[in-house]
Every structure is written in C-alpha cells, then in structure tokens.
C-alpha cells in the first residue's frame, strides 16, 4: 500500500465514531479504529476476508466474525486499519452490522497499468489476456500470471475457491476478481471458476490515453501548465466506434479546447487529438471533458482536467485544518486527527520530538514522508485527515503542525499561516496489575512467572514482517524511503518500500538460538517458541546473523576474527563468541531470559542456557544496559500482539532470582531497583519553593513530576546533573510524585508542597 499525494479534489472527513466513506478511511493512519459501510463483493470463497465497496473506493475487511457475510451483502464494519504486506485492511474487524442484500458492484474493465492504489480492493476485470502457465492450477494457494502483449500480471489462486486443481484455460480469456496487493505487486484474485471465461471481443469498446497513459472513465488527469496534450482514443471492439463530439464544462471550461468534432475509430484502431489549454488567470484551473460515443456502457467518456494558471501555483486553501486531536496514544504509536481545512485538497503533517515545530513548507516544492522541513520532518502527506507517524517510542513528547495545500507535484501552494498544532506524550510502561500474585520472594516464583507469560497468543514467523517490522521497527528517512536498523551491528539499511527480507538482505534473528531450544528443530511445523516475537530481532543476514550463528553472546577479551560495524566475532578466553553493539547487549540478555522462563517446563523440557553461554555475562549486560524507551515501547507493542510481557523489562530485579544455568530459583541480595531506592534522596519535604533530589553516585538524566491523578506537571529528558534542583513555586499545595531517571534505571518518591 503506497500513500502519497492524490490528484483528486478535496474531501471532508467525518469523525466522532460515525461511518466514513471508504475513500476517507483509506487516507487515515494505520492503527486507528474506523467505521465504514459498503457492499461485499465476495463471500466465504476467499476465506475470512471480505472486500467491500461504497462508490468511492474499496477496502478489505478481515476477521473470522465475517464468515456469515455473503457476496452482495451491505455491511457496516468497525475495525483497526492495518497494512498486511501492502494491502490496506480492517484487521481485526471488531464488529459489523449486516443490512442484507444490496446491488452488487460491477467489475470495472481496466488495463494492467490502471491496477493501482486507487482501485485496490475493488472488483476489476481484464479482457483479452492469456495465462502464461499451462496444465493445471496447483492444489491450494498459488500465484500464476496472465499476459497482455509483453506485460504480465499476477493472478492469486486461493485454495478455498473451486479453481485450484482445475485445468488452466488456453487462449484469450477475460478474468474478474478482487484487486489485491502483496508487497510491491498488485494481483487479481478471482472468486471462483465463473470469474475466468473465454474472451469475446465487444462490438465497440472505448479507451482513452492522455500522453500515452490510460485515464479511466471519470478519473482526473493533471494537465499542469502544458498547453498542448495528446489525447488518444482507442477502440478495442471489432466494429467502428462513432465519436459524436466533445464538450467542456466546469469553472474554467472556456480555457480548454480539443480538435475533435465527429469521427470514427476503426475496430482495433485508434485516433489522436490535441487537447489545448490557455489559462486566463492564476491558480487552479479545472474543467471536465465529456466525449460522446456509441460505446454501450461508457457514453459519454468523462475526464476531469486539473490545470495550473499563469503563476505556476495552484490556488491556496482558504483555511488550514483545525481541532488537532490524538485519539490513539500508546507507548509505540500515536494517531492524530484534524478537521479539514476550507477549500483544501491535501495536507502535510510535520513533527518534532521535544519542542514545537517552527519549520514551514515551501510553495512549489514536493515533499515525501521523512523529508526534512526546517526543524521538523514530514510525518504524513496526502488528502486524509488522520495520520500515524512511524518511529514512536515510549515517554516522548511529540509536537505536530498540519498545513493544508492544493496542487499536484511541482505546483503546490501551501497555507503557511496558523497551521493546526498540538503535542502528545507517548505512554510509558502499562504494566497495571499484570504481575498481581507474583512474589519474587516465593520459592515458586520461577514457575509462577512461567505460567503467567505462557501460554500466549501465537503470531506466525511469517507475520513478523506485518507486525514488528511494518508497525514498529521500520523508520522513515528522506525522499520517501525507509530504513531498518540491524540490532547487532547498528547498520541502518535504507530501502524503497515495501520491506522485503530478501531484497533488503535481512533476517529474523533468534537471540535465544533455535539450535539451543530443547525442541529443536521446531520450525516445520512452526512452534510458539520458534515464532515468539520477544526473541526475534531484525539483523543483516550475511554480516550479523550468519556470523553470530549459534555462538554464545559474551564480551570479547581476546582476538577479534570478524567485524562488521559494531558487531564482532572473537574469543572470550578460548571460547569463540559474538559481541553485539553495546545498545543491544541488555536487550539480547532480556530476550534470552524471557525465552528460558517462558518455555521452561513446557513438554517436560528444561530451558537452561547451554554450557558455553555464561549467565554472568548476560546478567552483567542486563544491569549495565537497562531497558530504554525503545525497548519499553517494543515490549508494549509485543504485549498488544501476543498478550504477554517480558518480565525482565518490567522489573529488572527479577533476573536476580533465577539461575539460568539450571533454571532454578535463587535468593539474592537487593537488586538494582532496591539499590536505586536506597540511594535516592528528596529534600526538603515538605517544601514551598525549592526541591532537591539526588541518587548518590549517579547522574540524573531526566525527571518527571506528576500529581496523584497521574497527570504530568513538569518534566525534562535533557538534564545531566548529580543534584537536581527544581523550583516548585508554581505548584499548588498538595502531594506529588517525583520520578528521576539515571543510566541504571528510574526511581520515584512522593513529596509535599505546603
């Protein structure tokens, strides 16, 4: 799924829980909950997915609850926007109302070149194409191709239909199906054998190309400032197509003309005409051309024209959007919405961490997501009134500014005064009462912890890309590109969307090695321990994953034999080991601790560490590299998918009570939580004007003051002092909580203002 600037006219979104058009919903942010209405164009023949259309666009709805929805049913569905390998879905579809049978949308006949984002999830038809393959369709799911001229297009055969295992038709065919997408490829998905039938040439069939590109009936073509444009009228029928003239309508109709009066296009032939544009003013110039003909179902053929006047810029929007709110706030994501601007076609959302956005976009400049604009970056650009920026981590204060603009690429006119602005703080740990009943002083602590975190919701190894990668790990960079970080080496791999493991050269690395697992091999069929997202991290396959192999993770104190950026293979004593970058050491240790705890005892297996993996090294890493806001956010995200948490992130002291060499419970001295608390001093209490805090021997790097209702009163993440001195003159009388952060973790204490 690719989102960018749409060359259509303005739209106005409707919020407050009401159903929106599918076109509006397709321009909101991933992760937001939406409600749409439409007619289902498939039933159970494609499994748990239903493609619905409403006259503005199409969208896929996914969920087992939809099993009763039949082809032609009108439904209103509520669900969460989700990007499944390029296909925009409501997944899960939380609820729906079936309004009963309705008029089934007809398939739109298009060429391969028109199978793009604007038609995704809609019913389409290809005519006069041939299957590349011969013989029979494979049993189960498969992908084959059809060809037109020299161009091929993917056909997805779903094993739940009656198509798989049947003979592949030979000769020219017509094929009807849902327009889907998988990674970078669009695909047509026929619903049953009736969707594939011999092609019969029509008597007359009009198709129009403008400057060589097909423009479908009722679509918009951007003329820009071009004064003369070639319009090609094609006839794919076998009889003559009669053209009876062209007329213009709309605001600036008088500025357009075409040298088409009447005429004939021979069967399988084409004629060229010239569309002329002569602007009589500045700003946006629009008109609609209607070409009368004797095609039975496309008379007239209508094209909306979007041109630019003498100042080379579109007309500026009247007002910017307003009412910027954040209905979605998590530790790993936030989602914004705003009320549409007046006479606005598109919006650009700028964002910045920690301070207000001051940068503004420049007229006539095209931006892509991730581009730098002044002191900010582009979080979203498009016609939607909602957005979900990528790269959110916990406990951060993000600022946004939303500007309206009009015009296609190169002709943008931005409304730069009084943008919609706002800020939101991402959540921190949301532990709640998850560990209620867990007592680290109990001899049953280890077994109790194991029972708490396993069993859990299983996410397949394949779906790691659509969950952790697409929704959390992947970040934006300039020019619309993205990057992913190799957790072992620190490499930032830049790529063009969509993400693909093979194309990028990355893999899913098991911190607790697959070969260490007592159930090895457990990947065919996949077992929960093989798929567990708490244990999987993105790494460069050849430069990090392969060199690590199943080597123990330890510090190198001898010869280094391989290096790639910050990841190294070398010797610890006489043992060959892998040492990842410093930022991943604690993360990797906690993944290993989690796996050993989660699956210990399952099937009677002991998940103790292999003899060559030092638990002392891992515990040292664990306490020296405590969970940061990235790891907290990752833990919260996985919790949202697997419904279980990594306890060693939530409470670092838990690791004190486990001997991972044999998976037994041990008593231990006060862990780091207790040590921090014992050395944390807040004075004077009560106070009225000044408050001092220190953690003996450690630098304070951040602090937050909250009231007893949990509301943030004052905070900073940019301090580095041995003693924190705060003015409290602006605080009302009452009780507050001061939380400070150090390089070894956080600690908090109550204080009183008198």
Mean pLDDT of the 636-649 span: 97
φ/ψ (deg, to 5) at 382: 160, -170
151 in the same domain as 35: no
pLDDT at position 424 is 96
Q: How confident is the model at residue 417 (pLDDT cuts 50, 70, 90)?
A: very high
Measured from the Cβ of residue 90, the count of other Cβ atoms closer than 10 Å reads: 26
What CATH code is carried by the domain that includes residue 375? 2.60.40.10
649 in the same domain as 539: yes
With beta carbons less than 8 A apart as the criterion, state whether 85 and 498 touch.
yes
With beta carbons less than 8 A apart as the criterion, state whether 370 and 306 touch.
no
Mean pLDDT of the 703-724 span: 87
466 in the same domain as 562: yes
Where are any strands of DSSP class E within 463-543?
Answer: 475-476, 482-485, 492-495, 506-510, 536-540
Instruction: Please state, in angstroms and rounded to a whole number, the distance separating the CA atoms of residues 545 and 533.
Output: 16
The SS3 of residue 446 is helix
331 in the same domain as 351: yes
C-alpha closest to that of 86 among 187, 219, 191: 187
Residue 419, CB-side half-sphere exposure with 13 Å CA sphere: 23
C-alpha closest to that of 546 among 576, 516, 506: 506
Mean pLDDT is lowest, of 15-19, 120-124, 246-250, 498-502, for 15-19
Mean pLDDT of the 62-86 span: 93
**Does residue 75 lie within any of the structural domains?**
yes
The SS3 of residue 260 is coil
Residue 670, pLDDT above cutoff 90:
no
Q: How confident is the model at residue 15 (pLDDT cuts 50, 70, 90)?
A: very low
Give how far the C-alpha of residue 396 lies from the chain's centroid of Cα atoms, to the nearest Å. 20
Write out pLDDT tens, residues 273-305.
999 999 999 999 999 999 999 999 999 999 999
pLDDT at position 673 is 65
Which letter does DSSP use for residue 365 in this model? -
Q: What DSSP string runs through 13-39?
A: ---TT--B-HHHHTTS-TT-EEEEEEE
With beta carbons less than 8 A apart as the criterion, state whether 347 and 403 touch.
yes
Give how far the C-alpha of residue 733 lies from the chain's centroid of Cα atoms, to the nearest Å. 45
C-alpha closest to that of 398 among 498, 329, 311, 318: 329
Q: How confident is the model at residue 642 (pLDDT cuts 50, 70, 90)?
A: very high
Write out pLDDT tens, residues 317-326.
999 999 999 9
What CATH code is carried by the domain that includes residue 716? 2.60.40.1930
What CATH code is carried by the domain that includes residue 182? 2.40.50.140
User: Angle at Cα 746 formed by Cα 435 and Cα 510, nearest 5°?
Assistant: 60
138 in the same domain as 78: no
The arrangement of strands across the sheet holding 575-579 comes to 560-564, 567-572, 575-579
584 in the same domain as 553: yes
Instruction: Please state, in angstroms and rounded to a whole number, the distance separating the CA atoms of residues 677 and 656.
Output: 16
Measured from the Cβ of residue 266, the count of other Cβ atoms closer than 10 Å reads: 13
330 in the same domain as 271: no
Write out pLDDT tens, residues 377-415.
999 999 989 999 999 999 999 999 999 999 999 999 999
Q: Give bridge partners of residue 207 from the DSSP assignment.
A: 234
Residue 29, pLDDT above cutoff 80:
no
pLDDT at position 12 is 26
Measured from the Cβ of residue 228, the count of other Cβ atoms closer than 10 Å reads: 9
**Does residue 313 lie within any of the structural domains?**
no
The number of residues in the chain equals 754
Instruction: Please state, in angstroms and rounded to a whole number, the distance separating the CA atoms of residues 614 and 132.
Output: 56
Two tokens, residue 459: 């996410």
Write out pLDDT tens, residues 344-364.
999 999 999 999 999 999 999
φ/ψ (deg, to 5) at 120: -55, 140
**Does residue 186 lie within any of the structural domains?**
yes
**Does residue 436 lie within any of the structural domains?**
no
**Does residue 745 lie within any of the structural domains?**
yes
Would you give the end-to-end CA distance of the chain in angstroms? 57
C-alpha closest to that of 591 among 634, 543, 643: 634
- Burial of 288-305, coded b for 16+ CB within 10 Å and e otherwise, reads bbebbbbbeebbbbbbbb
User: Angle at Cα 508 formed by Cα 504 and Cα 513, nearest 5°?
Assistant: 145
The SS3 of residue 743 is coil
pLDDT at position 7 is 29
Last residue of a domain, one of 616, 633, 665: 665
Mean pLDDT of the 72-96 span: 93
Instruction: Please state, in angstroms and rounded to a whole number, the distance separating the CA atoms of residues 717 and 701.
Output: 7
157 in the same domain as 85: no
Burial class (CB in 10 A: 0-12, 13-18, 19+), 587: buried
Q: Give bridge partners of residue 24 from the DSSP assignment.
A: none
Query: How does the average pLDDT of the chain come out, rounded?
Result: 93
Q: Give bridge partners of residue 58 from the DSSP assignment.
A: 53
pLDDT at position 672 is 62
pLDDT at position 435 is 95
Percent of the chain scored above 90 by pLDDT?
A: 82
558 in the same domain as 516: yes
CA distances from 136 to 130, 146, 233 (A): 14, 14, 38
**Does residue 373 lie within any of the structural domains?**
yes
661 in the same domain as 690: no
747 in the same domain as 706: yes
Instruction: Please state, in angstroms and rounded to a whole number, the distance separating the CA atoms of residues 629 and 330.
Output: 12
Q: How confident is the model at residue 6 (pLDDT cuts 50, 70, 90)?
A: very low
Two tokens, residue 555: 């510090």
Residues 6+ apart with CB under 8 A from 745: 626, 627, 652, 672, 673, 676
User: In 266-321, which ranges are continuous DSSP H helix?
Assistant: none
Q: Kindly report whether the peptide bond that precedes residue 305 is cis, defined as omega within 30 degrees of 0.
A: no
Last residue of a domain, one of 101, 130, 157: 101
402 in the same domain as 543: no
With beta carbons less than 8 A apart as the criterion, state whether 175 and 158 touch.
no
Which letter does DSSP use for residue 426 in this model? P
Biggest CA pair distance of the chain: 95
Residue 344, CB-side half-sphere exposure with 13 Å CA sphere: 28
User: Angle at Cα 530 formed by Cα 182 and Cα 457, nearest 5°?
Assistant: 75
Domain that holds residue 190: 108-198
Two tokens, residue 568: 């190294």
Mean pLDDT is lowest, of 182-191, 533-542, 664-673, 704-713, for 664-673
**Does residue 153 lie within any of the structural domains?**
yes
The SS3 of residue 234 is strand
φ/ψ (deg, to 5) at 473: -75, -35
Instruction: Please state, in angstroms and rounded to a whole number, the distance separating the CA atoms of residues 636 and 254.
Output: 59
φ/ψ (deg, to 5) at 646: -90, 110
Burial class (CB in 10 A: 0-12, 13-18, 19+), 750: exposed
User: Angle at Cα 228 formed by Cα 223 and Cα 234, nearest 5°?
Assistant: 80
What CATH code is carried by the domain that includes residue 75? 2.40.50.200
Residue 173, pLDDT above cutoff 70:
yes
**Does residue 8 lie within any of the structural domains?**
no
Burial class (CB in 10 A: 0-12, 13-18, 19+), 322: middle
Instruction: Please state, in angstroms and rounded to a whole number, the distance separating the CA atoms of residues 510 and 596.
Output: 13
Residue 615, pLDDT above cutoff 50:
yes
Instruction: Please state, in angstroms and rounded to a whole number, the distance separating the CA atoms of residues 47 and 68.
Output: 11
pLDDT at position 20 is 80
Last residue of a domain, one of 152, 170, 198: 198
With beta carbons less than 8 A apart as the criterion, state whether 532 and 517 touch.
no
Residues 6+ apart with CB under 8 A from 449: 438, 597, 647, 654
Count the domains in the chain. 6
Q: Give bridge partners of residue 215 from the DSSP assignment.
A: none
User: Angle at Cα 210 formed by Cα 208 and Cα 215, nearest 5°?
Assistant: 55
């Amino acid at each position: 799924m690719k989102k960018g600037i749409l060359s259509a006219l303005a739209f106005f979104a409707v919020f407050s829980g009401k159903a929106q058009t599918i076109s509006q919903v397709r321009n909101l942010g991933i992760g937001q909950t939406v409600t749409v209405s439409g007619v289902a164009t498939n039933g159970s023949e494609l499994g748990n997915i239903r493609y619905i259309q409403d006259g503005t666009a199409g969208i896929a709805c996914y969920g087992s609850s939809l099993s009763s929805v039949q082809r032609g049913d009108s439904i209103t569905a509520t669900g969460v926007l989700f990007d499944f390998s390029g296909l925009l879905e409501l997944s899960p579809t939380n609820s729906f109302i079936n309004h009963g049978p309705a008029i089934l949308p007809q398939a739109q006949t298009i060429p391969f070149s028109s199978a793009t984002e604007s038609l995704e999830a809609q019913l389409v038809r290809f005519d006069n194409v041939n299957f590349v393959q011969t013989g029979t369709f494979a049993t189960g799911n498969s992908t084959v191709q059809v060809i037109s001229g020299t161009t091929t297009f993917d056909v997805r055969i779903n094993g739940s239909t009656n198509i798989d295992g049947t003979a592949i038709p030979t000769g020219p065919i017509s094929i009807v199906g849902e327009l889907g997408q998988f990674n970078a490829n669009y695909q047509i998905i026929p619903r049953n054998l009736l969707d594939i039938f011999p092609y019969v040439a029509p008597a007359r069939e009009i198709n129009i190309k403008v400057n060589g590109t097909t423009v479908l009936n009722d679509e918009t073509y951007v003329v820009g400032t071009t004064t003369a444009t070639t319009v090609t009228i094609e006839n794919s029928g076998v009889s003559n197509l009669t053209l009876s003239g062209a007329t213009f309508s709309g605001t600036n109709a008088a500025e357009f003309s075409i040298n088409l009066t009447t005429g004939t296009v021979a069967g399988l032939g084409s004629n060229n005409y010239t569309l002329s544009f002569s602007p009589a003013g500045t700003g946006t110039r629009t008109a609609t051309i209607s070409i009368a003909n004797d095609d039975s179902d496309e008379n007239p053929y209508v094209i909306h024209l979007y041109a630019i006047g003498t100042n080379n810029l579109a007309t500026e929007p009247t007002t910017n959007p307003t009412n910027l709110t954040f209905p979605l706030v998590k530790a790993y994501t936030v989602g914004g919405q705003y009320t549409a601007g007046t006479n606005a076609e598109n919006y650009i959302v700028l964002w910045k961490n920690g301070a207000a956005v001051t940068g503004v976009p420049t007229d006539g400049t095209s931006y892509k997501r991730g581009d730098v604009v002044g002191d900010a970056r582009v979080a979203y650009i498009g016609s939607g009134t909602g957005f979900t920026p990528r790269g959110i981590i916990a406990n951060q204060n993000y600022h946004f500014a939303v500007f309206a603009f009009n015009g296609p690429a190169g002709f943008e006119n931005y409304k730069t005064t009084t943008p919609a602005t706002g800020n939101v703080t991402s959540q921190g740990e949301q532990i709640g009462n998850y560990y209620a009943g867990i007592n680290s002083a109990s001899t049953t602590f280890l077994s109790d912890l194991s029972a708490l975190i396993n069993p859990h919701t299983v996410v397949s190894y394949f779906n790691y890309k659509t969950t952790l990668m697409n929704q959390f790990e992947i970040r934006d960079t300039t020019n619309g590109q993205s990057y992913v970080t190799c957790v072992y080496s620190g490499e930032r791999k830049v790529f063009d969307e969509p993400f693909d493991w093979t194309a990028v050269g990355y893999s899913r690395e098991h911190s607790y090695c697959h070969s260490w697992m007592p159930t090895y091999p457990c990947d065919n069929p996949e077992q929960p321990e093989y798929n567990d997202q708490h244990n999987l991290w993105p790494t460069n396959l050849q430069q990090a994953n392969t060199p690590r192999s199943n080597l123990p993770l330890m510090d190198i104190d001898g010869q280094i034999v391989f290096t790639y950026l910050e990841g190294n293979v070398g010797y610890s004593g006489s043992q060959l080991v892998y040492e990842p970058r410093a930022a991943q050491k604690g993360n990797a240790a906690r993944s290993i601790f989690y796996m050993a705890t989660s699956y210990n005892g399952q099937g009677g297996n002991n998940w103790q560490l292999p003899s060559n993996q030092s638990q002392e090294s891992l515990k040292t890493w664990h306490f020296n590299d405590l969970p940061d806001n990235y790891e907290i956010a990752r833990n919260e995200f996985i919790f949202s998918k697997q419904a279980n948490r990594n306890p060693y992130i939530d409470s670092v002291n838990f690791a004190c009570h486990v001997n991972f060499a044999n998976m037994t419970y041990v008593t231990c001295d006060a862990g780091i939580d207790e040590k921090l608390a014992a050395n944390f001093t807040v004075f004077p209490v009560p106070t009225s004007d000044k408050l001092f805090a220190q953690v003996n021997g450690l630098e304070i790097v951040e602090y937050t003051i909250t009231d007893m209702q949990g509301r943030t009163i004052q905070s900073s993440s940019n301090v580095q002092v041995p003693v924190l001195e705060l003015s409290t003159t602006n605080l009302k009388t009452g009780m507050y909580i001061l939380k400070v952060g150090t390089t070894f973790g956080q600690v908090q204490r109550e204080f009183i203002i008198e």
